[in-house]
Chains A and B, each alone.
Chain A
Amino acid sequence: MSYPIPAAAMPAATGPGRVGQSTAVEQSRAVAEVQAAIYIAQQCPRSTSAAIAAMQESCGHMALAEKAFFRYSRGGSQVSGPTIHLAKELARVWGNVQYGISELRRDDEYGQSEMQSWAWDLQTNARNSNTFIVQHVRDTKNGPKKLTDQRDLYENNANNGARRLREAIFTVLPLWFVESAKDLCTKTLESGGGKPLPERIAGAIRVFGEMGITLDQLVQKLGGRNSNDWTAHDVAQLTVIYKSIRNGEVSKDDEFPQQRVTADELTRSTPTGTPAAPQVGAQSAADDPWASTPVAPIPNS
């Protein structure tokens, strides 16, 4: 049984009245390109061992390893995972994989874009595609903020699309391939490209210092351990955090909450120059406990 949808409830999408010559050529070319890609993928299948070797080489470079992980804050805890940069590199070395993001429709009136991300293993025909809606808003500390600037919209759509594309690519790649790549990138970060550990620790303290993050905050972040006791893994974590702050994926305050108020801060007597006592009317001694002698305690009533 079917249920007719009233025309008023679902208006037909308006399209161009005619298809131009160059559009027609492009349509034919796109069909031929897909057919050719599938044909070539079948004729030239990937070599798994060559793909593994290429992956190992890529993940051994600091340039990729440093971009391989993201961090962001959600509900007070940090979420981390592999980035779109790692996904694209793995798709490249795996071979015969196509992927993309498309903005299907933009609706300024409703403040949303309909988008699609997809990844396709042409050799195995494993394909993943997601159609999703991106609201033209940015979440801020004071609630969602509506976006209207074209550049903001482009970046918002690109960011949201990249996250879905990352998942689409990882879906068509074998899990073991992705996990091996993540392990290798972590090892590369830990080895720091061959630089001695004390030098890397000093470098981390310096670059965070330039961001206004103190050594005390880094120590607090790493469980209160002194910088002499930091491991290669700790420095690798700090590298990911540093990159994520630089990329705006996570804020400084999320990763490094402000230093707690100390007893010394409360008791330090620094006059503000603004008197705290009331200025209007005469005050009796009983009204200002600071001026009076201590009052003897009385039994609770």
Chain B
Amino acid sequence: MTTTIEAPTSTLPVFTGPGVYADLPAEVYHGQFVPGDSLSSTGARKLLAPSCPALFKYDQDHGQAHKKEFDLGHAAHKLVLGEGAHIEVIDAPDWKSKAAREERDAAHAEDLVPLLAKDYTKVEVMADAIRRHPLAGPLFTPGTGVAEQSLFWQDQRTGIWRRARPDWVKNGGPRTICVDYKTTADASLDALERAIYTYGYNMQGPWYLDGLRALGLADENAQFIFVFQEKTAPYLITVVGLDPTALQIGAAKNCRAIDTYRECIETGHWPAYLDDIAYLSLPIWAEKNDTEEYL
């Protein structure tokens, strides 16, 4: 048995140039809404090491594979922000049965977020934890910000089209605050520091603020913060801002990614990790160990 939480909308907007597109379905935003395509912050991170342009191109051509973790994250966004892909609750204990898997695939095909009933209940509790949090609760109060606007603008330096979809933009106070909500396995400070580096999250703030500023939605004083929430009980929440150096490095990485993207488009060549022969050494610790043991 399945329960559709909300029926998808049917009218699709048409790209008319740089601007803010409210109510743009996620699948349209992630697709080729801009003729000739546009670059997102996620795409920019995919272009740089440890990824490479070839992986970016593959995802662009084939779309990202559905993952259970993504579905949970999308559902959490939907319940916390009130925006995002629509949830389809599948009344099955797990994905082991053929019927459940078929329903899941059918939901994916219709751009819905399939969620087992127990996971839906879990996401509800996560959203409730956000509401009760002393910072995140008031921050995400409906009416104090705008959720999931799609921004499209042209990069001033290179002319390429860029896009962003900030989870939440709070602009009633003295300065605009752009917020990204992320679900994570570990919201401790040490783990988040590593995650910010590993996944290039410090590129996201400068990217989104570029978009808001380019479209006149924010000035130079605008700030960017993350709200991280653990995916396991008790669903702890950490609100995080980044220091100026991390943001400066993020902005520089964005520039590099934009240049790489432009070069790949111009040449039609999307390089893998390396075009030449790689000569590798052992990791430092292994070399030291084995040198002492065998040499």
Interface residues of A (CB under 8 A from B): 75-76, 141-143, 145, 253-254, 257-258, 260-261, 263, 265-272, 274-284, 286-290, 294-301
Whether B245 and A76, one on each chain, are in contact in the complex, defined by CB atoms closer than 8 angstroms, is: yes
Complex interface: chain B residues within 8 A of A289 (CB): 79-80, 124, 127-128, 130-131
Whether B144 and A272, one on each chain, are in contact in the complex, defined by CB atoms closer than 8 angstroms, is: yes
Whether B147 and A276, one on each chain, are in contact in the complex, defined by CB atoms closer than 8 angstroms, is: yes
Given contacts A76-B248, A295-B128, contact A261 B122 (CB under 8 A): no
**Cα separation A277 to B142 with both chains bound (whole Å):** 6
Interface SS majority for chain A: loop
Complex interface: chain A residues within 8 A of B122 (CB): 298, 300-301
Whether B173 and A263, one on each chain, are in contact in the complex, defined by CB atoms closer than 8 angstroms, is: no
Smallest CB separation, A216 vs chain B (Å): 14
Whether A297 and B233, one on each chain, are in contact in the complex, defined by CB atoms closer than 8 angstroms, is: yes
Whether B177 and A276, one on each chain, are in contact in the complex, defined by CB atoms closer than 8 angstroms, is: no
Smallest CB separation, B256 vs chain A (Å): 8
Whether A261 and B6, one on each chain, are in contact in the complex, defined by CB atoms closer than 8 angstroms, is: no
Nearest B residue to A263 via CB reads B135
Within B79-131, the residues touching A (CB, 8 Å) are: 79-83, 87, 118-119, 121-122, 124-125, 127-128, 130-131
Given contacts A267-B134, A281-B6, A301-B122, contact A272 B241 (CB under 8 A): no
Could you name 17 residue pairs across A and B whose Cβ atoms are closer than 8 Å?
Answer: A141-B251, A142-B251, A143-B259, A265-B174, A265-B177, A266-B138, A268-B172, A272-B172, A276-B82, A276-B144, A276-B147, A278-B82, A281-B6, A282-B6, A286-B5, A287-B5, A300-B233
Nearest A residue to B145 via CB reads A276
Complex interface: chain A residues within 8 A of B135 (CB): 263, 266-267
Complex interface: chain B residues within 8 A of A296 (CB): 125
Whether A268 and B173, one on each chain, are in contact in the complex, defined by CB atoms closer than 8 angstroms, is: yes
Chain B contributes a number of interface residues (CB within 8 A of A) equal to: 63
Whether A297 and B82, one on each chain, are in contact in the complex, defined by CB atoms closer than 8 angstroms, is: no
Whether B239 and A271, one on each chain, are in contact in the complex, defined by CB atoms closer than 8 angstroms, is: no
Nearest B residue to A282 via CB reads B6
B157 within 8 A of A: yes
B17 within 8 A of A: no
Complex interface: chain B residues within 8 A of A281 (CB): 6-7, 9
Whether A272 and B132, one on each chain, are in contact in the complex, defined by CB atoms closer than 8 angstroms, is: no
Known: A266-B170, A289-B130. 10 other contacts (CB 8 A): A258-B223, A266-B135, A266-B139, A268-B138, A270-B173, A272-B145, A275-B142, A276-B81, A287-B87, A290-B141
Given contacts A286-B5, A287-B6, A290-B142, contact A272 B170 (CB under 8 A): yes
B216 within 8 A of A: no
Nearest B residue to A299 via CB reads B233
Nearest A residue to B171 via CB reads A272
Complex interface: chain A residues within 8 A of B35 (CB): none
Given contacts A299-B233, A301-B122, contact A294 B138 (CB under 8 A): no
Nearest A residue to B227 via CB reads A266
Whether B132 and A294, one on each chain, are in contact in the complex, defined by CB atoms closer than 8 angstroms, is: yes
**Top 9 nearest A-B pairs by Cβ distance?**
A270-B172, A76-B245, A300-B233, A267-B138, A289-B127, A257-B244, A143-B255, A277-B82, A266-B139
Whether B143 and A295, one on each chain, are in contact in the complex, defined by CB atoms closer than 8 angstroms, is: no
**Cα separation A250 to B81 with both chains bound (whole Å):** 40
Complex interface: chain A residues within 8 A of B155 (CB): 142
Complex interface: chain A residues within 8 A of B248 (CB): 76
Pick the contact of B156 from A142, A277, A298 — CB < 8 Å?
A142
Smallest CB separation, A131 vs chain B (Å): 30
Residue of A142, A263, A296 with highest tally of chain B CB at under 10 A: A142
Nearest B residue to A275 via CB reads B143
Complex interface: chain B residues within 8 A of A253 (CB): 220, 244
Smallest CB separation, B4 vs chain A (Å): 10
Smallest CB separation, A217 vs chain B (Å): 13
Nearest A residue to B147 via CB reads A276
Smallest CB separation, A70 vs chain B (Å): 20
